[in-house]
Amino acid sequence: MDVLVSEGRVIASDDTTTAVQGAGMQGAARLVVARIDGEDRLADLYQQTPLRILFPYPLPGDPLTAALVNTSGGLVGGDQLKIAVTVGAGAAALVCAQAAEKVYRSSGPNSRIDVDLAVGAGGWLEMLPQETILFDGARLRRRSRVDLAGDAQFLGGEILVFGRQARGERLRQGLIQDGWEIRRDGKLSWVDRLRLEGDLEALIAQRPALDRAVAAASLIFAAPDGASYLPALRAQLDGFPGRASATCVNGILVARWLANDPYILRQAFAKAWIYLRVAKKMPASLPRLWHI
């Protein structure tokens, strides 16, 4: 069922046709948060199966919190998901993935995820990811675009796990295409692209690529004062039992990790995320949902 919330109304439709002949599942979710009468409020909501957006109670000090849910349990070849989040001027929101996203083996078609994020002047958006677990033979194309206005701030990132580690599975074949674009006031500030296709096991093993890592993560912090947090973030990366680094380009602070243990990588990612939250006067914690 498609659900639309607009101007305090909930509109539901029985049109549940979310698959296209010869293609996979077509899911969509759109969330708009606005500052109204001094409070952050839901201004617009649209969701199309298998995507859903839930609203758990935020922890004290947290902004309006939303949980993004994929009710299908994962992506198969041909599936397409479209996610859009807009935070209005002066508003704040925290969007957290409800669980790890699984990308299953494909016989040929790609799974696709398009993410479009926009933050108005003086706004704050956190897009807190869970792991994306790539099964052997998975084919994923993901594009994330962030449009920032004025002094808007954004904290986001991604965590990739190459194969089902608990089963001893390695990611041998498939496609990983993952890209980010960040613009401020319409001007391109940062672009990042990862593309690996074919013999993924050999590509991942190359030291200039992923150096045999079983998991990789990137944290992205876009803020006018982003560069000022670089020294402390680099110091925090010291002692990580893998490879880690951080840099800043055009006010976009980027940290990366490679590890042979997804859990250790997840802990390091959370530590850096909390550091930046605290620096921005947010609670020194992550949503309960992220720890489940």
- Cβ neighbours of residue 263 closer than 8 Å, sequence gap 6 or more: none
- Cβ neighbours of residue 271 closer than 8 Å, sequence gap 6 or more: 236
Looking at residue 289, what is its pLDDT? Answer: 87
Report pLDDT digits (tens) over 69-89: 999 989 999 999 999 999 999
- Residue 233's nearest CA partner among 249, 244, 222 is 244
**3-class SS of residue 11:** strand
Worst-scoring range by mean pLDDT, 61-65, 204-208, 252-256, 265-269? 204-208
Query: Has residue 131 got a pLDDT over 60?
Result: yes
Q: How many domains does the chain have?
A: 1
Query: Has residue 271 got a pLDDT over 80?
Result: yes
* Domain span at 272: 2-291
The DSSP code for 109 is P
**Across residues 173-184, what is the average pLDDT?**
97
Looking at residue 9, what is its pLDDT? Answer: 35
